[in-house]
Every structure is written in C-alpha cells, then in structure tokens.
Structure 1
Amino acid sequence: MKILIAVDGSELSLDAVHHALSLVRAGLRASFVLAHVQEPASLYELVTTRDPDLIAAAARQAGMDLTAPARVLLDAAAVEYTTDIRMGAAANTLVDILEETACDLALVGARGLGGLRGALLGSVSQALVHESPVPVTIVKHAQEALG
C-alpha cells in the first residue's frame, strides 16, 4: 500500500503524519509519499525575479523547510517514504501527485476552520475529498477529536 501524506508545515498537518505512524505501529505495511504544494509565484515575484529556475528553486527550498518536521518523524520511525514538492493549486496538485505516484489513500490534517469561515476561505481537505480518485482520511487534531 502507498499512502500520500499532505503537509503544509503547520502543526495540524503533522497530525496526518502521526496518524500514519500509528497505522504502521498497528501493523500496516505501507510506503509513503510526503507531499507539499507551494502556491504559484505571485506576479510581483515573476516580474522582479524574471528567472523561473530561481523561483522554482526557492519554492523547492521552502517546501523542504516546511516538510522538515514531518521528515524527522518519518525518519525516526524508519518508514519508507519519498518527498514530492510542487507548485500549484493545492488540491489539484495533490490529486496529480496521487495519480502519478499510484497512491491508494491520502491523509491530510484538518485545519479546523469549519462552518462559514471554512466555506469562505475554502478547504484543501474538502476539495481533495471531492477530487481525489482514492479515499481521503482527514485527521482531526487531538483536541478537536475530544471536543
């Protein structure tokens, strides 16, 4: 089984990593794709930089920095994983990664916006649920799950 774990650098996204590791401790044999999506470069960045390779390198470095805590957890657990960092619209790009890497499942942490605020701001996890060709598990934060 291959499982995509979407992380954005937030503490809440690490909940998906912790959930994946709890599945491994329970006996699941799987490899993982640690996925991070950077927003596309702004018009200002494009105009002032004028070097798409430089923009891509900066996005890749930012992605590596933001996935570092998740990679530390996965390394400590000695599980097999790859890291996939891309630029684009988060949900659509995650679907692309799911399809290209032949993942069987996606795990994503809940942002906890909910209600009107979540509807107004949009939700990557909700969009992923609707667009994904595979099941998506939204992992609630421990405090949210208890409340």
Structure 2
Amino acid sequence: MKFLIPVDGSVLSLEAVRHVLKLAHAGLQTELLLANVQEPASLYEMVVAHDPDVIDEVSEGAAMHVLAPAVSLVETAGVSFEAVVARGDPGHALIELIERHACDAVVMGAHGKGMVRQALLGSVTMEMLHGAPVPVTLVKPSEDTALDSDFETEELAEDGPN
C-alpha cells in the first residue's frame, strides 16, 4: 500500500510518519511518498533574485531541510520511500501527487482544532478531506506531542522580540 505523507516540518507531520511506520512494523506492506510543498516565489523574491534558478535552488534546499527528519525516521525503519518536492498551492499539489504517484491513501497530522476553525482558515487538511480521491487518515497529536508543542510555544513566546 502506497501512502502519501505531507511533511511540513511540524511535530505533527512526524507523528503521521510514525503512525505509518507502526503499520509497516505490524506487517502491512508499505511504500511511502514523503512530500513537501513549497509555495511559489513572491513577486518580491523574483525581483530581488533576478534568476529563477536561484529561487528554485533555495526552495529545493528549504524543502529538503524540512523533509530531513522524516527521511531519517523512515531510513532507520528500513521502509521503502521516495521524498518529493512539489510547488504551488499545497492542497492542489498534494492531490496531483496522489494521482501522479498512484498513492492508495494519505496520512497526515491533524492539529486537533475545531472543524469550523479549520474550514474558515481554508486548511490543507480540509482540502485533502474533501478533494483527495483516496482515503485520508488524520493522526491526532499524542499526549507527549501535545506537551512538546505546548513547550515549544512557550519557548517561542519567551524568546520572542524584546
């Protein structure tokens, strides 16, 4: 079974990777498509960079940096995977990846926010739930992950601008 796992650098996207790795260790034949979507360059970035190749290199580097922890987890587990970088609107790009790579399902981290709030924000999660042509599994944060996220939020608040 081929799983698309969107990786955005959050602790929750790594929870989704761990979830699929548990399925693999339980005996499910799995193949992973780890995907990071980079938004298109802004007009300012295009004007300042002058060279579209520079923008592409920076975007690719940023994506590989975001994907690195997930790749490390999967390599350590010995599960077959491919890491890809897509560009554009995240929801549309992920749906295109599902079709292009013949994925059987999507597993992604969920922030655990209310459905109304997510719908109003136009989240990628909601777009995937409604638009993906395959089943979508949302992995909620574990208690440890929730505590880690709270700690990170507190650290950011303390380290913020003075």
Same fold (TM over 0.5): yes
Larger mean Cα displacement after TM superposition, 115-124 or 59-68: 115-124
Structure 2: how far apart are the matches of 1:54 and 1:130? 35
Contact 1:60 1:86 in 2 (8 A): no
Structure 1 stretches of 4+ moved >4 Å: none
Structure 1: how far apart are the matches of 2:113 and 2:42? 25
Deviations 1:95-145 (A, max 9, x none): 01110000101111112332554233221111011111111111111139x
Amino acid at match of 2:68: A
Which residue is 1:45 aligned to?
45
Structure 1: how far apart are the matches of 2:4 and 2:133? 12
Which residue is 2:143 aligned to?
143
Which residue is 2:70 aligned to?
70
Identity of aligned residues (%): 47
Amino acid at match of 1:70: A
Q: What is the RMSD of the two structures over their aligned residues, measured on CA atoms?
A: 1.8
Contact 2:118 2:126 in 1 (8 A): no
Note the 1:1-40 alignment, pairs <5 A.
1-40=1-40
Contact 1:39 1:88 in 2 (8 A): yes
Instruction: Count how many residue pairs are aligned between Structure 1 and Structure 2.
Output: 146
Match of 1:103, SS state, is coil
Structure 1: how far apart are the matches of 2:138 and 2:15? 9
Contact 2:36 2:63 in 1 (8 A): yes
Amino acid at match of 1:35: A
TM-score, normalising length: structure 1: 0.92
Match of 1:72, SS state, is helix
Q: Offset of 1:53 from its aligned partner? A: 1.4
Note the 1:63-142 alignment, pairs <5 A.
63-142=63-142
Query: What stretches of structure 1 of length at least 5 have no aligned partner?
Result: none
TM-score, normalising length: structure 2: 0.84
Query: What stretches of structure 2 of length at least 5 have no aligned partner?
Result: 147-162
Larger mean Cα displacement after TM superposition, 106-115 or 127-136: 106-115
